[in-house]
A and B are shown apart, each in its own frame.
Chain A
């Protein structure tokens, strides 16, 4: 339990660091970006909106930095992330419409990729040295390709040329969004290619990690013992894999950040209406409140996912639950 407490404290601290960085950046970057931005906005948006933007950066510039900081935190706690300049709606509203898409897309891909990678890795580790090993360089290549490049290639080949998949977006434009069968089917259909490309890019990492752990694990005494005792092969593999998977899960929290970062760009390639797409538009139009809101949102989501992964790990590995004197 103390471990959970410590992880919670770590993630709380990380969240605080992210929030503070978010506050300090616009104040300390050369060229005074906030002033420049507000100056550009005069006349374009209402003074009310300018006030809301100013407030989300910590209020007037004539106040001290500390008081601006507390104003900023107070605004955050009230859910005021400022107003997006380009969309002229509160950042939080923009996020609410795009976050579910991203969570759906990345969540599904992450689960598939972890399962497929771990199972393949376990088999590769077990049959080490067989012809299956030739999968490894291929997997490495896919791992080295940037997510968005692989996505671009898949889009070109499978959607644009072969017409196996629909091209852009998250659902057919002829359909009304809602919980009816036609819409859900179209959702799944449009999701296939983005999910496949994220899985292809991220599966190699899980696979190689699991393979290496499995090779080490297969050499353990208990495996030899169970083979000598004549247990069926399937059972022995399961027993070895169960132990070998622990480091993968321990690394899950690290990998989630990487996969999310990569997947945001896949959204961009496929015009998927999620956070990644929003982020690109924000970056290209220098919509600072939106960029910062998205950054905070992604960070908090990744931290929450990390916490979840840690809890799973604690639950799976009894060794971590015993209190060890530091």
Chain B
């Protein structure tokens, strides 16, 4: 397999930097928090200051510490749910696409049913019946979220597997007498990698939204600090209307940043899969360096290898032009 060339566009780099920051926060957040998130010994509703960077809640808890500590639960649930959902979608999607026949019919039907069911209401119903001690368990919540989030990935992977199934290299592996499992997971699966990555990012994005939403409406244990719980308390104490912006803005911005970083990475993958989008992602300066017009007039989108190699390519024609 060729080494994957991830496009080094500014979008991807920015996405990686932001995501990396929050992954580090997930690991060290609880250790570097200046106070305990439950500590109520400070004055209530302090505005941000040098002592309390994000101010305090109406109970006098330090919001900065809550944000740092909350990073772990939020990110862990999102990652667990995203990984489990992607595993499910690989198992269902690749088998359906490769085996075909009745297996395909059955599995496709199952994923279509799950796709049509609105995820959040289903999550709310399941979660509202959970005993309270399970609600504080990040793993349980993550698993339930993954149950509602795998279907889209399965559908995309199935389509791609079907198009790979009859390629020559798969055919030859079959003739050599490779086992079906081996062909599915060593021949077909690696070629699904870009789509797989995009589907993983998508499910993590979905999971973080789902988890925060559940917490926001009070369906996860309030004993576990996460960004959704913070928003829940802010809303419950009418912070938005009383103008206590410092209470709900930090967790909200964190969620948005993690989400943006995932979406930015997804752009990179999209541009990797569809080269036509790559030229679309260039800035004006890069475009000039490549000798491309700033705006393409005709219906032509030049495909170029990578923005990083741009100077070398500039002397030749702006690479192949696909109609």
Contacts and interface: CB of A to CB of B under 8 A. Distances in A.
Interface of A: 10-11, 13-14, 17-18, 21-22, 25-26, 29-31, 33, 125, 127-131, 133, 136-137, 140-141, 143-146, 148-149, 152-153, 155-156, 160-161, 167, 211-212, 215-216, 218-221, 223-224, 227, 236, 240, 253-254, 257-258, 260-262, 264-265, 268-269, 279-280, 283-284, 286, 288, 291-292, 294-295, 298-299, 302-303, 306
Contacts of A21: 122, 125
B197 interface: no
Contacts of B119: 257-258, 261
A14 B117 CA distance: 7
A302 B279 CA distance: 38
A283 B128 CA distance: 7
Contact of A295 (B122, B256, B279, B284): B122
Nearest to B231: A149
Contacts of B252: 145-146, 149, 152-153
29 contacts: A14-B116, A21-B125, A30-B134, A129-B284, A129-B287, A129-B295, A131-B284, A136-B267, A140-B264, A144-B259, A146-B216, A152-B240, A152-B252, A153-B252, A156-B240, A160-B240, A160-B243, A216-B277, A219-B300, A224-B300, A253-B116, A257-B118, A261-B118, A261-B119, A279-B217, A291-B124, A291-B125, A302-B116, A302-B118
Nearest to B216: A148
A129 B121 contact: no
Interface stretch (B54-62, B174-182, B205-213): B205-213
Nearest to B236: A284
Given A10-B112, A145-B259, A160-B240, A286 B128 contact: yes
A62 B212 CA distance: 39
**Chain A, interface SS category:** helix
A215 B276 contact: yes
Contact of A155 (B124, B240, B262, B287): B240
A140 B263 contact: yes
B159 interface: no
B320 to A, nearest CB: 12
Nearest to B130: A29
B243 A10 contact: no
A227 B112 contact: no
Nearest to B256: A145
Contact of A212 (B120, B257, B274): B274
A156 B122 contact: no
Contacts of B262: 144
Contacts of A221: 323
Given A257-B118, A286-B128, A298-B121, A219 B276 contact: yes
Interface residues of B, number: 67
Given A127-B295, A143-B263, A25 B323 contact: no
Contact of B116 (A22, A145, A257): A257
Contacts of A295: 121-122, 124-125
B136 interface: no
**Chain B, interface SS category:** helix
A137 to B, nearest CB: 7
Contacts of A269: 235, 240
B295 A299 contact: no
Given A30-B134, A145-B256, A219-B299, 13 more contacts: A29-B130, A129-B284, A129-B295, A144-B205, A155-B240, A160-B240, A215-B277, A219-B322, A265-B216, A292-B125, A294-B121, A295-B121, A302-B118
A129 B282 contact: yes
A268 B232 CA distance: 12
A218 B295 CA distance: 13
A223 B109 contact: no
B212 A227 contact: no
A14 B280 CA distance: 40
Contacts of A224: 298-300, 323
Among A155, A257, A288, the one with the most B-chain Cβ atoms within 10 Å of its Cβ is A257
Given A129-B280, A141-B256, A143-B259, A227 B298 contact: yes
A129 B294 contact: yes
B163 to A, nearest CB: 16
Given A26-B129, A152-B240, A216 B217 contact: no
Contacts of A131: 284
B116 A10 contact: yes
B41 interface: no
Nearest to B108: A10
A22 B299 contact: no
Given A13-B109, A144-B263, A149-B231, A161 B243 contact: yes
A25 B243 contact: no
A178 B119 CA distance: 35
A149 B256 contact: yes
Contact of B299 (A13, A212, A227, A299): A227
Nearest to A152: B240
Interface string B83-117: 00000000000000000000000000100110111
Nearest to B126: A25
A30 B131 contact: yes
B280 A215 contact: yes
Contacts of A227: 298-299
